[in-house]
């Protein structure tokens, strides 16, 4: 059944079954405790972030210059930051923005990657060659440097950040989709669809792309962690999401200055980035195993 | 092979030119601009600003500005003068290059030695406790923000334990010494190396496991060779070159890490030069660093690609794994 790495998932339902926990085969997603635990952790972080306004007693941006860098107390569980804002409140709100930016970045990267990968894989020839050149170009430039320049050109507008991250991280997805579609061109069901008069777009979307779905899901999961790391680095350096909108990255902007006085405020946001990315990477590995995707 | 090499080399110039155009355009999109930063005070009149713009050549149309910049770079490797300090950018970069290369070199060596050793141990003791530990370490390494690791290590090793300095390249005022230098290097190099260590150990493990499954390893075992000899002389030799190719291709990513690491640790290198230049709208500086690092990156990519093709005749040149492909097979 698994002679072709992707042939085993000819239809959408069986491809996503392990994700829904419907089918639990031996090598499946929940066979790995790490992946299962990570999924729970992600859901927990998502839920708490979503409910932030209900849970948090403090205003997100409320400053109190009389209690700057205060140590943890009953009122401020994680203390306050360099402007006297409650670190715990900002931490929870930051989760929303960090994850939202990562999500949008991944969505943009997937849109570009799947589109270009599908065009290259389905049409081949000149289109394939042209797209290969573009992919090569993006893989051979100092993406992070250009990304920093682009983000600074954006002047701190929040929607620039996912645009810039997504626009520079679609190459892996494009490669994967292309490599899956190329052998499918010769398959009987594609020939049949073509003989039945189906248009190119319909053949690709209805018949070929579903086969690439498992690989795209994995690539999106791992991509989420990567996008979050890039956003946090951008925001940390001051070129990403700008305060007062908090993200886990920009909460650390002045951390090296005050880490001696308020270590928790400097350590906890980074820890949130770390465990969230770790969880997404574990879920990605679990999915790869469960969906039997070889790379 | 020679044809492929020529093609790759011929592509370097157009790619670097393209990157410089994109960077140039993006820089001029940014609000504010260098004249605003230079003026600094509110007392600067509109005519002063206009004169500064004129002196810097910022009053000319953008394409003209770019072509003037390009001409100087192309004819004399002259990257212009920094808007902020007036120094020639080429000299600034050359001054900072040793510090950057030192940091990258140390991080590279650390990641290579530890990463490959971890990968070999993981593959040989597959699914054993060490393999599981190392796989945890490598996933953790890939999930960790570099700047956060840097902050935490400063907190623990400098502030709490007082073992190592928290930044800089040498103690100011103290007589320069090798040991002092080394103590400053430890934390930044470790922080910078973690991501590479993580991905190289995974890649080594996957390659070595692949090699161990090959027929020639079975033959070597069947001949009764010792396990050490089988692993090192037969399997590892076959795994080493593709690993090396990927390692070479990832050297450029050290530049990314260096921007962050140098900023956190106040390391006087090219990364920090770039970061400060960007923050101060110092266009010549930013352009210079981007162009020079792009050039280095493309050269390294080409070397990695060629090495990979040279090692494995089954692979046509250009088909080498991408620098981002660090997957480890689970099979």
Q: pLDDT by residue (tens digit) across A157-176?
A: 888 899 999 999 999 899 99
Looking at residue A3, what is its pLDDT? 33
Q: Is A121 a domain residue?
A: yes
Q: How many CB pairs under 8 A join A and B?
A: 144
Q: Residue A230 maps to which CATH number?
A: 1.10.3720.10
The verdict on residue A15 lying in a domain is no
Rounded mean pLDDT of A16-38?
61
Q: What does the pLDDT look like over B259-304, one tens digit per residue?
A: 899 999 999 999 999 999 988 888 889 999 999 888 888 887 777 7
User: What is the model's pLDDT at position A16?
Assistant: 41
On whether residue A260 sits in a domain, the answer given is yes
| pLDDT score, position A17 | 39
Does the interface ipTM go beyond 0.95? no
Name residues whose C-beta falls within 8 Å of residue A125's C-beta, 6 or more positions apart in sequence: none
**Residue B250 and residue B272: Cα distance in Å, rounded?**
20
| CA distances (Å), origin A291, targets A10, A130, A295, B200, B279 | 12, 31, 12, 25, 45
Task: Report d(CA B179, CA B222) in Å as an integer.
Answer: 51
Task: List the single range of A44-48, A65-69, A247-251, B305-309 with lowest mean pLDDT.
Answer: B305-309
Q: In this structure, is residue A53 part of a structural domain?
A: no
What is the DSSP annotation of B274-318? HHHHHHTT-HHHHHHHHHHHHHHHHHHHHHHHHHHHHH-TTSPTT
Range of the domain at A98: 79-281
pLDDT at A138: 84
Residue B36: predicted pLDDT = 59
Confidence at residue B32, expressed as pLDDT on a 0 to 100 scale = 64
Residues of chain B with Cβ-Cβ distance to A239 below 8 Å are 278
pLDDT band at residue A2, thresholds of 50, 70 and 90? very low
Quick one: average pLDDT of A194-213?
A: 89
Window 19-58 of A: residues touching B by CB (8 A cutoff) are none
Neighbours of B224 (CB within 10 A): 7
Provide the pLDDT for residue A15: 39
Burial class (CB in 10 A: 0-12, 13-18, 19+), B150: buried
Q: Is the peptide bond before B244 cis (omega within 30 degrees of 0)?
A: no
Q: Which of A34, A117, A138, A141 to mutate to test the interface with B (most CBs of B within 10 A)?
A: A141
Within a domain: A47? no
Q: What percent of chain A has pLDDT over 90?
A: 41
Q: Does residue A268 lie in a domain region?
A: yes
Say whether residue A148 is in contact with chain B using an 8 A CB cutoff. Answer: yes
Residue B65: the pLDDT is 85
Residues of chain B with Cβ-Cβ distance to A141 below 8 Å are 15, 19, 294, 297-298
Per the structure, the count of domains in chain A is 1
Q: Do B139 and A266 touch (CB under 8 A)?
A: no
Is residue A83 a part of any domain in this protein?
yes
Distance separating alpha carbons of residues B329 and B331, to the nearest angstrom = 6
From chain B, the residues in CB contact with A258 under 8 A are none
User: Which pLDDT band, with edges at 50, 70 and 90, does A109 fall under?
Assistant: very high
Q: Do A142 and B297 touch (CB under 8 A)?
A: yes
With beta carbons less than 8 A apart as the criterion, state whether A258 and B285 touch. no
**Average pLDDT over chain A, rounded to whole?**
83
| A239 touches B at CB < 8 Å | yes
pTM for the complete prediction? 0.85
Are A32 and A42 spatial neighbours (Cβ–Cβ below 8 Å)? no
pLDDT at position B40 is 56
Q: Which residues of chain B fall below pLDDT 70? A: 1, 31-44, 311-331
Q: Is A221 within a domain?
A: yes
């Amino acid at each position: 059944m698994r002679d072709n790495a992707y042939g085993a998932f000819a239809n959408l339902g069986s491809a996503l079954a392990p994700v829904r926990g419907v089918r639990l085969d031996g090598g499946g997603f929940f066979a790995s405790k790490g992946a299962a635990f990570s999924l729970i952790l992600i859901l927990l972080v998502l839920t708490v972030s979503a409910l932030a306004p209900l849970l948090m007693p403090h205003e997100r941006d409320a400053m109190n210059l009389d209690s700057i860098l205060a140590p943890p107390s009953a009122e401020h569980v994680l203390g306050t930051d360099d402007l006297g804002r409650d670190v715990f409140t900002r931490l929870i709100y930051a989760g929303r923005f960090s994850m939202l930016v990562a999500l949008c970045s991944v969505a943009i990267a997937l849109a570009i990657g799947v589109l270009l990968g599908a065009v290259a894989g389905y049409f081949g020839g000149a289109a394939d060659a042209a797209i290969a050149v573009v992919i090569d170009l993006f893989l051979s430039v100092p993406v992070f440097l250009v990304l920093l320049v682009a983000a600074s050109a954006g002047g701190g507008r929040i929607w620039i950040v996912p645009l810039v991250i997504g626009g520079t991280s679609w190459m892996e997805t494009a490669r994967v989709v292309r490599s899956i579609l190329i052998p499918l061109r010769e398959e009987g069901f594609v020939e049949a669809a073509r003989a039945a008069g189906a248009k190119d777009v319909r053949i690709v979307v209805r018949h070929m792309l579903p086969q690439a779905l498992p690989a795209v899901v994995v690539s999106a999961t791992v991509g989420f962690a990567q996008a979050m790391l890039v956003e946090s680095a951008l925001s940390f350096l001051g070129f990403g999401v700008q305060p007062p909108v908090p993200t886990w990255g920009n909460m650390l902007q002045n951390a090296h200055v005050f880490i001696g006085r308020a270590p928790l405020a400097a350590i906890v946001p980074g820890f949130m980035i770390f465990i969230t990315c770790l969880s997404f990477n574990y879920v990605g590995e679990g999915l790869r195993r469960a969906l039997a995707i070889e790379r | 092979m020679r044809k492929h090499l020529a093609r790759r080399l011929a592509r370097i110039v157009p790619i670097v030119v393209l990157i410089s155009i994109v960077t140039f355009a993006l820089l001029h999109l940014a609000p504010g601009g260098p004249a605003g930063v230079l003026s600094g005070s509110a007392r600067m009149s509109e005519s002063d600003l206009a004169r500064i713009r004129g002196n810097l050549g910022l009053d000319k149309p953008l394409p003209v500005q770019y072509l003037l910049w390009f001409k100087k770079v192309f004819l004399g490797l002259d990257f212009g003068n920094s808007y902020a300090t007036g120094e020639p950018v080429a000299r600034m970069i050359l001054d900072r290059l040793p510090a950057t290369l030192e940091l990258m070199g140390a991080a590279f060596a650390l990641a290579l030695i530890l990463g490959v050793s971890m990968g070999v141990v993981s593959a040989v003791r597959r699914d054993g406790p060490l393999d599981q530990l190392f796989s945890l370490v490598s996933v953790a390494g890939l999930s960790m923000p570099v700047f956060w690791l840097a902050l935490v290590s400063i907190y623990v090793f400098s502030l709490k334990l007082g073992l190592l300095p928290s930044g800089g390249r040498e103690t100011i005022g103290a007589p320069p010494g090798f040991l002092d230098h080394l103590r400053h290097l430890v934390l930044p190099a470790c922080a910078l190396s973690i991501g590479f260590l993580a991905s190289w150990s995974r890649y080594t493990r996957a390659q070595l496991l692949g090699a161990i499954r090959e027929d020639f390893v079975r033959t070597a075992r069947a001949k009764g060779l010792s396990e050490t000899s089988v692993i090192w002389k037969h399997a590892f030799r076959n795994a080493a070159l593709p690993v090396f190719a990927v390692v070479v291709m990832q050297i450029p990513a050290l530049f990314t890490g260096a921007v962050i690491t140098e900023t956190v640790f106040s390391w006087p290198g090219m990364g920090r030069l770039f970061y400060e230049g960007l923050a101060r709208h110092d266009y010549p500086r930013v352009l210079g660093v981007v162009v020079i690092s792009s050039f280095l990156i493309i050269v390294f990519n080409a070397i990695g690609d060629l090495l990979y093709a040279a090692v494995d005749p089954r692979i046509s040149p250009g088909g080498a794994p991408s620098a981002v492909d660090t997957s480890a097979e689970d099979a």
